[in-house]
Amino acid sequence: MGREFFEAKMCSEPDKCLTNRSEYSTIHREEENESKRGNEGMGRIFGRTAVITAIVAAGTVFGWLYLESRKEQPRSASVGLTGADVVRESADGQSGNLLKWWEDRLQAAERNGKWDAAADYAYRMAAYYRSADREKEAEHWYAASDAYRTKAEPRDNRFYDEALPSPQEVVLTPYVGVPATENRQLAKFEPQSGAYLGMFGIFDYPAVEQTFGRYHPIGLHYSGWRKDENDTRNYFPTRTINSVKAAGAGGALQIGWEPQYGLDAVKDDEYVRSFARQAKEAGIPIFLRYASEMNGNWVPWYDEPQKYVEKFRLVSRIIKEEAPNVAMVWSPNFWPQDNIDAYYPGDEYVDWVGFSLYSTPYYDGKEDFSKNQIDYFIPLYEKYKHKPIMIAEGAISHYNTKTNKSHAKWAEGQISIMYGFLPKMFPQVKAITYFNMSKSRSESLKSEFIYDIKENPLMYDQYRKLIQSDYFLTKVEQGTSAKENIRYVPLATASGLQGKHKLFVYPDMPFDSQPHSVAVFQGEKRLAVSYEVPWEVEIDFSSLQADVPLTIVAYNGRQETLARQSFDWSKR
């Protein structure tokens, strides 16, 4: 549970990593104690003390600009659209006006003294106004961004628009939505399209929706094996089940069932069957992630693949006999990858494949921004995509306690990858659970990495924004689908493109930075533009010239071209 990304990337000093066995046991004991206390409250989510601050920039009245921006929305000279129309082209039907959202977040950052976030939102507004040919407002917001920046901590300019990357350093990949069809039988609780949201770290599950603004139908709980061979108590998480039920209809629980006393303790006995019967009595869908991360040497059930397969099959058979509402999840860590296959129990014993997928900007104790979650995930997906896949636990580290260094902007880009791109690029990913260990808990465990979403305003805002997408499902039910029952495929592989289709663009850029806008052209005509991740627009392919490629252009915050790449497509 909560395995660190840097440990998975072969930490050179395993005895010093968070996921060594002693700290792993500590985390597990805390999880059991949390459950026994009734999982009350919202965990350890820190509030923030509001800080009353000065106005945006000296000599400029913010209220005047606010009213002026309401009188007339910006107009794009290139396509003749009002600013509101341009914002709607982002294809985010839930968010409303992006300018209003950015203003709201800027004001919240200002109230809380989060000057780096305030500077960031002011810069986004400036970039938007410049793209709409309203240079007066653009210059105001660039100045405001600079003024906020003087109050902020020194920033890492590698993640900002200080230098243009070379064209060879940027790869733009467009994906297009096509009708979702399955040529195979769906697994237990598998949706036809879309992905379930899950959350760990807030143990009062009704509070999850209050905190993040969207219902998360999957909770996560860790259950250890019985205390000793003579103890028949099963520690089934009844209180957590009740908390998930209280959060709303359609909820489910992922249970990490962990034989921390070794695989020899796993038998067909009353303990296991009692656990299974209680799972059935729970009356909600359960994803049973038995003995996960078996490929990593930080768990006691590591390095015995034959015995592991035998025990997984045993548990799977018992569950099928006793608990029809339980889906078996086989769940390795994403690294190391060379030993994973030996642990696979076989298709008939596995309903879902799960992966732990963490991201920190460190490799072997040094900063490393060369790879992200998608890079590591691709080979795993290709091998196991015949099953529905869940990111059973995953998180982004935005602060390093050892170096006292923040990676707030980098982490915003990573959460964009995790929730904006990954589930759409890999449509068999049908659930993602965020491991939101609170900052206070991480510090008590002397963890090097902070994953708490709320501690990073940019990451928190981006997460709340991204999960509003209708692609994320709010009810666990086999065969359900997203509002638009589509799946995304690379534009280059799509055929028969007629009528309107959603199209998004994955930008692979240095340091996993993101553009400030992405536009789609055919010839000299701009078809659409998006101002937010995942750079999604709607294109009417029936109105396009069949033999003329589409051109994707990505811009930075100064409206300079980051990349311009053309792509063939097919109406046939």
Which active-site residues does the annotation give? Answer: 293, 393
Q: Cβ-count burial of 64 within 10 angstroms (0-12 exposed, 13-18 middle, 19+ buried)? A: exposed
Q: Are 541 and 571 in contact (CB under 8 A)?
A: yes
Angle at 114 between CA 109 and CA 116, to 5 degrees: 105
If phi > 0 it is left, if psi is from -120 to 50 it is alpha, else beta; for residue 119 that is alpha
Task: Give per-residue burial for 361-376: e unless 16+ CB within 10 Å, then b.
Answer: bbbeeebebeebbbeb
Q: How many CA atoms lie within 13 A of 18 on its CB side?
A: 26
Residue 570's CB is within 10 A of a number of other CB atoms, namely 13
Q: Which helix (H) or strand (E) holds 218?
A: strand 218-224
The pair of three-digit structure tokens given for residue 341, joined into one six-digit string: 């296959």
- Return the ∠ at Cα 217 (arms to 29 and 473), rounded to 5°: 145
How far is the CA of 310 from the CAs of 216, 304, 315, 349, in angstroms? 34, 10, 9, 11
Degrees to nearest 5, angle at CA 272 with 268 and 274: 125
Tokens read off for 348: 């008939």
Torsion of CA 207, 420, 157, 435, to 10 degrees: 40
Answer whether the bond into residue 534 is a cis peptide, omega within 30°: yes
For tokens 């689908």, what's the residue? 481
Measured in degrees and rounded to the nearest 5, phi and psi for residue 264 equal -65, -20
**Do residues 271 and 240 touch, judged by C-beta distance below 8 A?**
no
